[in-house]
Chains A and B, each alone.
Chain A
């Protein structure tokens, strides 16, 4: 981990990074990001945004540029999707996080979004990392599905080295031999990150499991493991979701999850995740 001049937790950098997005503080509060996998229409996005806001989410997610396995799958609404997300922010006050897939889009996505997301497939897209490193927006860096902690933190290093200090890491599951779940959610990475880096880390149990029934226990486990937040896919009508239908949570279920998270948080009291060295 010697190459991690900026990302690692060491004598020179003992203070944990707090990333501010509006009133939200990653690294200080437990941040819940919720919203649809993709922006499909204005109606779907605004409806979902209002429902997750009512349930207590702090930020809205939604993809306008979708990196899909197949070129024939829905690729996202692009600029139109960004305009819809902007409307959703105006309507709910929720800051927006959305994925950017092309270095040429970075400045444009920054015009609309509060946080730029680098998806799992682009984690090691170094030209994209350099470009978001120059942006004046925080970056949510998802873990590559085949990546080690060291590789992941090196990607964060790219962004930090380019001049952007606001990086939030996001564990979203890795490929293992297990096929029951879409990925294997590696919750052990949360304390590993905390031990080695000062950057905040959140967990995406939706992609991490790909199974609706497992999202709630994994969200609670993420909080217990010391994560700085979660990112959950919520759709106002999951059966109609254009992508990732099986992991789209209905708003009512999300409301229940929020209640349990609050209960767990209050029962954790002043519990301190800092490690004894």
Chain B
């Protein structure tokens, strides 16, 4: 092992230390939602006791205490700032985090294991907002999210159309010619199928794109790369071998921003409704919009219970427009279940 190799390991450890600090600060902000005062002398004492008990031969008690004084000081500063949290599904570096950052760079993206967790955290007030994908140009609708949207009380407070740019990422100093296996979410792999075939690379399915990036940086498998976002390269210290490797030029995922409070204003609306199981009931609803020249931008039907479908409809216009108001009042009478999920603005994120 040469000095260069050792330094590479040190760099990788430093990256992990930063990632762990990030994860700790996230939990700290989450903790502040569960307590009234930032200061908690008893808890601090507990932490220092643990540190002193856990010191190792090279990390002496005095040094450990110094570090944790700094960490706790910074934790309290962040808690006092009252940073707002945006829940997203996946690990750091996921496209959901990219959407969160693009939607509001001031908010702290907060990783959640599942879409359910995103909804629950926003519902419980543990996160201020959540951001979830509803559809992708090539992958179609995101079933699990749409199912959760049927029954949630949360409002749609915004939407973001994010251009998905898949990148091939590898560990620094990887010889691109040696790469054989490429790990990623099956959807990302299928969106880059032709690229992989052209370069004789084997796709290997992994639960999510960012998770594949983290796995690569931590377990360092040989002759391997991942397909993930550019953000993922920054977070896990990976090298971008090639950007924009998806087979199709335009690959857009539409995200909805969830909140307990509706947006102040907007030019787009989302509704969800169910109709009676009779001929023409859906047609009649659509006719109301057609009659008022309201442009529909999305229509989706999701099976709810056997024989019962939830219909999602997005359209252009504000709920304050008289024609929209009238249309919604009419539709409400024609449906067995109806909810205006939100009136909001939609942003394109290039």
Q: For residues 187 through 244 of chain B, which have their beta carbon under 8 Å from a beta carbon of chain A?
A: 195, 198-200, 241-242
Question: Nearest chain-B residue to A104 (Cβ)?
Answer: B177
A79 lies within 8 A of B241 (CB): yes
Question: Nearest chain-B residue to A112 (Cβ)?
Answer: B242
Q: How many residues of A contact B (CB 8 A)?
A: 10
A43 at interface (Cβ–Cβ under 8 A)? no
| B contact face: mostly helix, strand, loop, or mixed | mixed
Q: For residues 95 through 129 of chain A, which have their beta carbon under 8 Å from a beta carbon of chain B?
A: 102, 104-105, 107-108, 110-112
B176 at interface (Cβ–Cβ under 8 A)? yes
The one of A108, A110, A136 in contact with B176, judged by C-beta atoms closer than 8 angstroms, is A108
Q: For residues 176 through 234 of chain A, which have their beta carbon under 8 Å from a beta carbon of chain B?
A: none
A126 to B161, CA, bound (A): 48
A108 to B198, CA, bound (A): 9
A110: B residues at CB distance < 8 A: 198
A111: B residues at CB distance < 8 A: 195, 198-199, 242, 245
B198 lies within 8 A of A105 (CB): no
A108 to B179, CA, bound (A): 11
B241: A residues at CB distance < 8 A: 79
The one of A79, A102, A107, A136 in contact with B199, judged by C-beta atoms closer than 8 angstroms, is A107
B199 lies within 8 A of A105 (CB): no
Which has the most chain B C-beta neighbours within 10 Å: A79, A105, A112, A136?
A79
B198 lies within 8 A of A79 (CB): no
Question: Nearest chain-A residue to B240 (Cβ)?
Answer: A83
19 A–B contacts from the bound complex (CB under 8 Å): A79-B176, A79-B241, A102-B177, A104-B177, A105-B177, A107-B198, A107-B199, A107-B200, A108-B176, A108-B177, A108-B199, A110-B198, A111-B195, A111-B198, A111-B199, A111-B242, A111-B245, A112-B242, A136-B198
Other than the given A79-B176, A108-B199, 8 more pairs (CB < 8 A) read: A102-B177, A105-B177, A107-B198, A108-B177, A110-B198, A111-B199, A111-B245, A112-B242
Ranked nearest first, the 8 interchain pairs of A and B with the lowest CB-CB distance are A104-B177, A107-B199, A107-B198, A79-B176, A111-B242, A108-B176, A105-B177, A108-B199
